[in-house]
Structure 1
C-alpha cells in the first residue's frame, strides 16, 4: 500500500498527501527548512522569533486575532514549532475547507506584516526566562550539553536565542530572514486525512503555484567530535532535586547505526524498561527517567535524563554508568529484544490512525531528505540482532563522546566525588 503521494510544483515546492478517507478531519503541516543551525550567534533565535511574528497578521488578515479566527472558522487551531533544522506550521482543518485552509497558510507564510515586534520580543524573552535561574544562568540540560557537544557551533545555542540576541533583532533582520529561507524550494506541505491527492494538489497549486523560488544558503557542517570526554557542566539552582543529563555525541540520522540507536533508546526508556525498573522500582532513586534520541543531518545526541535528591546523586550516576557498561558489553536477552521490537512496530502501526503524526513524519522526511516509510523503518529494526545492537552501543556509548550536565543544589563535596567517578569511567 502506498503510504503517501509526493508531487512537486514547477517552483520546487513539494506536496506530500496521505489519503485517509475514513477520517473526519484533515491535518495540514507546512515544513520550512530553517532552524537554529542556520543562524549566526548575534542573531541566535531569529528563526523562532520569525515563527512567532508570522502569527501577528498578514496582508489579508491584518491582526493576529483575525488570522487565528479565520483558521478557527475552518475547524482549525494553527500552531508552530522551531527546532535546530526546521520550522513547521500546522493546523487541523475540516475536510470541506482544505482549499481555504491552504490559502490561509499561504497568507501566513508569504504575506506577513511583521507588526508589533516589541510586544512579541517581550513574549519571547519571557519564554527564554524559563531556561534561566535567578542569576540569569542556563538551567536547561539540553542547552547545557549542546554547548559541550557542539562548542562554537549554532547548534550549541538555544533555539529561542539569548537575551542579547533577541533584544537586538530588528524588523529588517526578520524580513531578510524570511526572504532568505521562506522560498518554495525550501518548503514541504503535507496534508493527511479525508482528502484526495487531486484535491490537495489543486489547493496547493492555487495558493502557492505563483510563488517564485530561489536557492537557499547551506548550513554550517557539524564540528568533528571533541573526543575528550567525559565533559561536565554544573549550574546551581534553588530546587529540591538535582537534574542530570548524560548525552553522547552520535552520528546523524542517515548513519547505518541509527536503527540500533532507536532500539537502544527503547531498551532504556519506558515504564518496564531498564531505567525505570532499576532506578525507580528497585532502588527508589527517582520518580522518572527517560532516554531520548535527537538526530540532525550530520550529528546527533543520545541522552538520558532524570532528577534525584542531592543525597542520591552519586549512587544514581554509578547505576547509570553500570547500565551503559552492560549495554556495551552484553547483548540484550532475546525476550527483552523481541519485546522492544514488538513495541516499536506497534507504535508505527498505531501512527497509521494519526493524521497529524503521518503528515508531520512524511513531510519532515521529504524536507530533510530522509523519506523513510513506516514499513522500511520497521524492516530495519526487525532485522537487527542482539549482537548488532550491542556492537553499536560499544561504538557510540564512548566515554570520550559523553557530556554530562548537573543542575540543582549540589555541594562542593558532591561535585568532587562525581568528577572523580567520571574521570575514572573508561567504558
Structure 2
C-alpha cells in the first residue's frame, strides 16, 4: 500500500490490485457522532443532497448518467463516525470517476428545491426505519445502552431538525467538515498515474481541520430493560453490552467470541436457540468496534411465548464462553481469517477496510488483522468475556 499526503492536507491511500475494476472512495471524517443537537441527521442529509446537482452537472440524472453509462456504480453512506462517497468503474474510466467525485464534493449547487425534495425523501426513510422492527430494535438498543455518547442517536437524525434545516446551515456544515485535511481517499485497483489524476482534481482549498471533543461514557452499573410494543408478528430481543473501540487488543478477542457464538448456522447461539430448540426465526451476535465506542450484542427474532426461554438460553451461552475449548478457538480463528481474506478480494470492501483502519489509527493495521486474530489465546477470550458481559441493556420490541 502507498500513502501520500497532498499539500492541502488530503490523505490518499493506494492499494494495487490486478483486474479490470477500480474503486475510488472518499471518506469525510464526520458522522452523526459529530453533530450538535440542532444538527441531528445533517451528515446523512448532506450525503443525500450533494448528489442533486453541480454547476457542470445540474441534475441528479446527469450525475448518475456519467457513471452508469460506463457500466459503473456510485453511491454514498453515512455512519456514526464517517461519511463515504464512492465510484466503482472499469479502470480505463478511472479519471472520469475521480473527476465526478471531486465535482460533487466541491461544486454542489445546494439549491433550495433540492434541499426541500431531499427533506421529503429522508423523512420517508425515517418513517420506514421506525416502522421496521429489524432496524428499529438497534436504535432502541443504542438509546438504552448509551447514556451520554452521541452514538445513542440514529444516523438518520431527528424529524424536527430535518424539517428545519436551512441552506445556510448546510453550507456551514459543508465548509466546516469537507476540507482536505479532514478527508481521505482510498483507491483500490491497478492504475498508472493515479497521483497526478488525484492532484489535478482534489487540490481543494486547504481549510481548517475541525477539532473534536473527547467523548466519555459511564460504565453500566446494572441491567437495564427497554420494552416497546408494536403491531408486528414477531418479538425482537437484543442483549447489548458496552465494550471498547478500536484500536484495542481486546477487540480481537471479541471478534473471536463473535465468531464462536454468532457465525452463520454453526455458531453456538444458532445451534442452541434455533437448531436444537426451534425458539427463533433469526438469531445471531454482532460485534461493533468503532473509533470512539464499541458494543457486543446477541439478538433473536422469536414468538412472544418463547421470550423467557430464549432469554435464559442467551444468558447461558454468554456464560458458557468461560467453557470455550481450544477446538472452538481454532475454528473461530479459521472462520475469521477466511471471511476477511474473501472480503478484501472485492475492491470496494478492501477500500472500506483501508478507510476504517486509517480513521481509527493507520491503514496498515488492515493487513495486521489476521495476525492479531491468530494471537488471541483461550485465556484472553475468557478474560474479555468476563470483563464485558455484565450489566446488559436488554431490548424487547414485542409483537402481538
Shorter-chain TM-score bucket reads over 0.9
Q: Which piece of structure 1 moves more, 121-130 or 207-216? A: 207-216
CA distance in 2, matches of 1:138, 1:222: 28
SS at match of 1:287: strand
* Gap regions ≥5 residues in structure 1: 411-427
1:398 counterpart = 2:395: no
Q: CA deviation at 1:69?
A: 0.8
**Counterparts of residues 413-424 of structure 1 (less than 5 Å):** none
In structure 2, which of residues 15, 19, 31 is the aligned counterpart of residue 35 of structure 1? 31
Q: CA deviation at 1:204?
A: 0.7
CA distance in 2, matches of 1:142, 1:370: 29
The normalised TM-score by structure 1 is 0.89
Q: CA deviation at 1:86?
A: 0.2
**Counterparts of residues 92-103 of structure 1 (less than 5 Å):** 92-103=88-99
Contact 2:148–2:216 under 8 Å retained in 1: no
Q: CA deviation at 1:211?
A: 2.9
* Gap regions ≥5 residues in structure 2: none
CA, structure 1 residues 394+153, in 2 after alignment: closer, same or farther (shift >3 Å)? closer
Deviations 1:122-167, CA, capped at 9 Å, x for gaps: 0000000023249xx9971211121122224422111101211111
In structure 2, which of residues 92, 109, 116 is the aligned counterpart of residue 113 of structure 1? 109
CA, structure 1 residues 74+12, in 2 after alignment: closer, same or farther (shift >3 Å)? farther
Corresponding residue of 2:121: 123
In structure 2, which of residues 58, 71, 84 is the aligned counterpart of residue 62 of structure 1? 58
SS at match of 2:184: strand
SS at match of 1:288: strand
Q: CA deviation at 1:43?
A: 1.7
1:47 counterpart = 2:60: no
CA, structure 1 residues 207+139, in 2 after alignment: closer, same or farther (shift >3 Å)? closer
Contact 1:40–1:154 under 8 Å retained in 2: no
Deviations 1:317-363, CA, capped at 9 Å, x for gaps: 00000111111x32x11212111111111122223421111111112
CA distance in 1, matches of 2:247, 2:148: 24
The normalised TM-score by structure 2 is 0.95
Runs of 4 or more, structure 1, over 3 Å off, are 372-375
**Counterparts of residues 10-409 of structure 1 (less than 5 Å):** 10-21=7-18, 23-115=19-111, 116-133=114-131, 140-196=136-192, 199-225=193-219, 227-270=220-263, 271-327=265-321, 329-330=322-323, 332-399=324-391, 402-409=392-399
Deviations 1:251-290, CA, capped at 9 Å, x for gaps: 1112221110111111111211101111110000112211
Corresponding residue of 1:423: none
Q: Which piece of structure 1 moves more, 267-276 or 291-300? A: 291-300
Q: CA deviation at 1:219?
A: 4.2
CA distance in 2, matches of 1:152, 1:138: 24
Contact 1:41–1:154 under 8 Å retained in 2: no
SS at match of 1:18: strand
Contact 2:236–2:397 under 8 Å retained in 1: yes
